Structures are given as C-alpha cells and as structure tokens.
Chains A and B, each alone.
Chain A
Amino acid sequence: MEGELVQPAPEETPRDANPANVGLELFGYVGIEAVLDQMRIKTMKTGFEFNLMVVGQSGLGKSTMVNTLFKSKVSRKPTGPGYEERIPKTVQLQSITHVIEEKGVKMKLTVTDTPGFGDQINNENCWDPIIKYINEQYEKYLREEILISRKRKIPDTRVHSCVYFVPPTGHWLRPLDLEFMRRLSKIVNMVPVIAKADTLTLEERAEFKKRIQKDLKAHGISVYPQEDFDDNSDDRILNNKIRDKMPFAVVGADKEHQVNGKRILGRKTKWGIIEVENPAHCEFPLLRDLLIRSHLQDLKDITHNVHYESYRMQRLNESNRLALSPINGLLGKDEVESDL
C-alpha cells in the first residue's frame, strides 16, 4: 500500500497535543517543498509504466491513434499499402511494450490491441476475452502482493486506461458499444472516443456527443474521469470541463505535411488538410492531454486504489481466508482457475 497516514483515535489524543494537526504556521523556511524535487528525480531515475488498451472494430484507426499519441511507431501494424488485414475469428489480445524517453524521463509503455472485436456477424460475448485479460492482470498483481517476500517494485501490467473507439455514425451508440462499456467501465478506466471524426461536421459532432452523453447516463455507464472519484471541488471543476467535452472527437495521423511552411501531422484530402493537433479541427490534443499530460498519474491511481482494490476485495471474499494468508503464500491454483 502507498503511504498511509495513521491518525490517533480521538479518545486517545493526549490532552496537551495540538488539536489542529493542519494549518500550522511556519515562521521560517524548512525545506519541505524540496521533497517534490526528490520525487521528481526518483521518478526520472526509475521511470514509470503505463498500460493502455485500445478497443474497437477494425479500421477505426486504433493503431494510427496510438502512434499519433506517442509520436512514434508504437503500434505493431505496418501501415504500408501492400498490407493485408485479416480479421481474426475470435477476439485476440496483442500487447506490445516499448520504452520511450522524453527529457530524461523514461516511460515503459504497453499497448494492448484487440483485433477481432466487433467484426463478426455474431458478436455476442466478444467482450469476454477482454474482461478476462484485465482480470488476469489484477490477479498477477495480487499474487505478487500477497507473497511473503515481495519484490521491491511489483511489475504493473494492469490496464490503466481502456480507450474505446466509437464509429462516427453520427446517430447514437450501438447495442455493442453499450454492452461493452457497461461491463468494462466497472473494472477499468474507460475513455470513449469518437473515431475518425473527420467524417462529421462540427454541428454533427456536437449533436452526436450530446446523444452519447445521454445514452451513457441512461445506462448508468460511468466513464473516466468518474464523478465519484473527484477528490475535491477543484478537481470537480476541472473534470466537469473534461466530462462536458467527452467523448472526444479524434482524428489520427502519422504522416506529416507542409502547412504554411511548417511540418504538421495531418491527413491530406482533396478539399484540405486536416491538422490533427489543431483544436479547431479535432479534439486529439484533448485526448493526449488527458491520457498523458494531465491525468496519467490519476489514471494509475484510480486503477490501483479503486479498480484493483475492488477486484482484490472480491477475491478475498470468494476464497477461503486461510488459503490467502501470508503464512500460506500463493493462492491455490485450482481456486484461481475456478473464479476466472
């Protein structure tokens, strides 16, 4: 567990202790703020992990989007013209890991793709392999956590964010979208996006978004950033602004073009160049900011403190307590299989 503050129970407070533990005024410079620098240096040294999952029908630009997000050929798929795309008969889960570095900060990025999702004629239960994968990562972490002698840094393969690509029909969410998001938003941070949004005019986008928001509300689907986890009113204001704009209408591109003398990432069509990083053209910058620049740590925290915890609680309640105690160590193998 991350650092926990132990508060003495009210009855036990000695009479002469300071009743106000917060708001103590310092009459000189102590240097507490230097801890931020220490944390920063440490983070830079150790680097951090981020696990992203992308889900959606084939052809919605998932791989391109990932490449655009991390400005590198992260996605395994070659995007050359001679490439034959084969739709697998069942949903596969493919993870690739890269280490990318920016200004001395290292990030171990794992992207999990889900080819075959929603592509068949009968897509019943096509979400099951995905749910299974996510739970398996929680299970892996749990097993490491309950060991007697634990690793200093437990490898974290848990999915921190699942980006769901909604096709830009402009109408409303399809039954498949609703079924998937309803189930997955309970176990992972779900970030829906409107894929290939360059097919919608600005008006159509706004209407589509409104309908999607209504749909999500009607079905009780809570997408990231979830309202329940706003820490304080500042967070709520910031997150409300984000929630208002979700799902983001995104366009992905990994080719550069010349626009006004600058090299811009975009798509060149007969009627103009769609600039991916131009907020007037699409909301890709908002998605990038959310996933990487502002809420990356929050995504990890919520995954750890909320989703993982509820998985852990579920497992502890299911299995026999004795089998799980530190004395015995690992969970019995048969118990694990029966629950998954």
Chain B
Amino acid sequence: SQIHMPPSSALQDDKEYVGFATLPNQVHRKSVKKGFDFTLMVAGESGLGKSTLVNSLFLTDMYRDRKLLNAEERITQTVEITKHVVDIEEKGVKLRLTIVDTPGFGEAVNNTECWKPVADYIDQQFEQYFRDESGLNRKNIQDNRVHCCLYFISPFGHGLRPLDVEFMRALHQRVNIVPILAKADTLTPSEVERKKSKIREEIERYGIRIYQFPECDSDEDEDFKLQDQALKESIPFAVIGSNMVVEAKGRRVRGRLYPWGIVEVENPAHCDFVKLRTMLVKTHMQDLKDVTRETHYENYRAQCIQSMTRMVVKERNRKYGGTRHKCPPC
C-alpha cells in the first residue's frame, strides 16, 4: 500500500498540517512486512468438533497426521498440550498461526483438576515472556502467549456442566475465553436460543469473566454498531465445522450432507461460524492480543513480582532476622 503524501503546495498552504496522519499507514506497512502472529487455544471434551472447526476457520488441514489412540492408551490418557504452527498468507499479509490443543481434557472417569495442565501451560508462556522481557537481549522475543481460548461447550448438556464451570473459572483470569456451542447442527432453532440464554445466565451466575467485546465508539456508523450488538448477543457462538464441499441448490458450499438436508457452514442463517471467523480474524484479533498483553499478562507479571518480593523479604528475614529473635526451645 502506498503512503499518500499530499502535494507540497497543499502542505505549504495548510500550516496546521504536520503529516503524522500517515502514521497508521506506516505502521500498517511495517506490520505487513513483519507479519502477524496469533496463538489460539482450543479446549473442551473430545468429539465436539474442535479440530474440524480449526480447519474450517483457517482453511487448512492441520490435523492430517493425527494418530488415533487404541483402547488401552485411551484408558490411561492424561491431559496433553499440543502445538501446531502454520504460516498462512493472504493478499500479501502473513500470519503465523499457533493452535494449542488439549487432547485428553475431560476424557477420564475422574477429571479432577484436569484443567491444571492447561493453566500451567498458559502460565509457562507468561513466565517465558516475563523472563525474555526482563532479559538483556530483547531483540527477538518470541511471543508464545495464548491470545484466545475457544472453549467448546457440549450441545448435549442442559447448559454448562460442572467441568465447564470449573475450567472457565480456573482460566478466565489467565486468557481470553470465547465460549463456543459446539456441533450446533444437532439443535433446532428454539433449542439453540434456549441453550444460549441458559449458558449466558449461568456464566453470569458463576462469575465467569469471558472475553468482552470492546464498546463501540459513539462515532461509528450504524451498520458497524448493529453488527457489534449482534456479535455480543450471539455468545456463545453456535458453530458447525466442515472441510467437505457439498452441492446445495446448484452451488458448491462447505457443509455437512444429511439424509434430511444440507447444513451450510458459511450460511449465517444456519450457524454462527461466519460471526466467529469475522470476530476472530477480521475484527477482534488485535484486541484479543491487546487484552492478553494489557490485562492477563500484566496480572501475571504483577503477581510474579509480588511473590518474588515476598520471597526476597522472607529470605532476608531468615538470614538476618534470626540474630534478633531467638526462637524459644521447642
């Protein structure tokens, strides 16, 4: 993209004009050169269509070489954290996308604290960044912090399950949680509405702080405001994913072919897939990164520093405090 410099004659006439209105363009050009990165985590029970959705969202086939475990392996499975990195390019803009998956989550008979490996992973990325940031050579810091976590809620329950509540409560201070109502093609329109409002009500009741869309500026145009409003009211996004192309009414669409009809993934009347993709990629990707940086990471950093300070004080008291206070004999 070109930087539009006004002709010099106009500059001379307008004494108020400095020229930094071109800054956004400069930033834009630099970013395009550097490329963007984004780390997305997907969490939820197995079989809710997480892999299919990720593939649909970014039009890739990330899970091509996925190995299916046999019966014994599954019985003793613990929660793992896996990372897939893919470089996507569109119209000259490069995106390095990292997908963090959580196979084994909620799979076992006893799922007590199965969210812990996930929380630990997120904290580790924060810790890594904290170290790098505090280090001497800060040229090539790699940002592996998780920017967004899509949490998949089963459409078969009656709203949130105990495990869903526990997971989201454990993670909402660490990462931006975007709740997803998975496999929504199993629900009739009224069931979708009912479940969505039930889930929203429960999220509020249990004090779960999901990712909040930033308020619209008052000077935004009506269309944008309406779109923003619609987005907020769609939570949790009722999604369907598919990598197959089927024939519907003479058109080729991404969808799922059933004996009773065809579900079109990209049809807004069928599901919220387009809304989710728009939000995630087109409109809110930068905000997700900002909130991660400004809120979640800062919280972690503050806590870290506090606990380090506490440790230092304790250590100091231990070393020097012992001469002044004699412990009574036990």
Contact = CB atoms under 8 A, between A and B. Distances in A.
Interface in B151-200: 154-159, 161-163, 166, 183, 185-190, 194
Given A119-B161, A198-B186, A199-B185, A219 B107 contact: no
A280 B259 contact: yes
B126 to A, nearest CB: 26
Contacts of B47: 167-171
A124 B257 contact: no
B36 to A, nearest CB: 33
A303 B229 CA distance: 59
Given A178-B71, A272-B261, A281-B260, A199 B162 contact: no
Given A171-B47, A269-B188, A271-B270, A198 B107 contact: no
Given A121-B162, A171-B46, A175-B107, A271 B156 contact: no
Contact of A85 (B70, B74, B155, B158): B158
Contacts of B2: none
In this complex, which of B71, B110, B112, B188 has the most chain A Cβ atoms within 10 angstroms of its Cβ? B71
Nearest to A274: B260
Contact of A273 (B74, B108, B154, B260): B260
Contact of B112 (A85, A122, A170, A281): A122
Given A57-B157, A121-B162, A267 B188 contact: yes
B71 A174 contact: no
Contacts of A61: 156
A179 B109 contact: yes
Contacts of B71: 172, 178, 215, 218-219
Given A57-B156, A120-B162, A176 B109 contact: yes
A81 interface: yes
- Main SS of the interface on chain B? loop
Interface in A187-211: 195-196, 198-199, 201-202
- Main SS of the interface on chain A? loop
In this complex, which of A176, A269, A275 has the most chain B Cβ atoms within 10 angstroms of its Cβ? A269
A122 B110 contact: yes
Interface string A284-301: 000000000000000000
Contact of B110 (A57, A123, A168): A123
A199 B183 contact: yes
Contacts of A273: 260
Given A176-B109, A179-B109, A218-B71, A271 B186 contact: no
Contacts of A275: 260
Contacts of A270: 189, 269-270
Given A124-B109, A171-B47, A176-B109, A271 B261 contact: yes
Given A85-B158, A169-B47, A271 B109 contact: no
B109 A201 contact: no
B183 to A, nearest CB: 5
Contacts of B256: 201
Contacts of B48: 169
B320 interface: no
Contacts of B93: none
A129 to B, nearest CB: 15
A326 interface: no
Nearest to A219: B71
Given A57-B156, A175-B74, A271 B108 contact: no
A268 interface: yes
B257 A201 contact: yes
Contacts of A268: 188
B258 interface: yes
A41 interface: no
In this complex, which of A61, A121, A170 has the most chain B Cβ atoms within 10 angstroms of its Cβ? A121
B75 interface: yes
A60 interface: yes
In this complex, which of B157, B163, B262 has the most chain A Cβ atoms within 10 angstroms of its Cβ? B157
Nearest to A269: B188
Contacts of A218: 70-71
A322 to B, nearest CB: 42
B263 interface: yes
A90 B190 CA distance: 30
A179 B158 CA distance: 24
Contacts of A280: 259
Contacts of B108: 175
Interface in A207-239: 215, 218-219
A324 to B, nearest CB: 37
B278 interface: no
A336 interface: no
A196 B186 contact: yes
Contacts of A97: none
Contacts of A167: 47, 154, 156
Nearest to B113: A121
Contacts of B187: 269
B205 to A, nearest CB: 12
A58 B158 CA distance: 7
Contacts of B68: 171-172
12 contacts: A59-B157, A61-B156, A85-B158, A121-B112, A121-B114, A121-B166, A178-B75, A179-B109, A199-B183, A218-B70, A271-B262, A274-B260
Given A119-B162, A121-B110, A274-B258, 16 more contacts: A57-B157, A58-B157, A58-B158, A59-B156, A123-B109, A175-B108, A175-B109, A179-B109, A196-B156, A201-B257, A202-B259, A215-B71, A269-B188, A269-B189, A269-B260, A281-B259
Interface of A: 57-61, 81, 85, 87, 119-124, 167-172, 174-176, 178-179, 195-196, 198-199, 201-202, 215, 218-219, 267-275, 280-281
Interface of B: 45-48, 68, 70-71, 74-75, 77, 107-112, 114, 154-159, 161-163, 166, 183, 185-190, 194, 256-264, 269-270
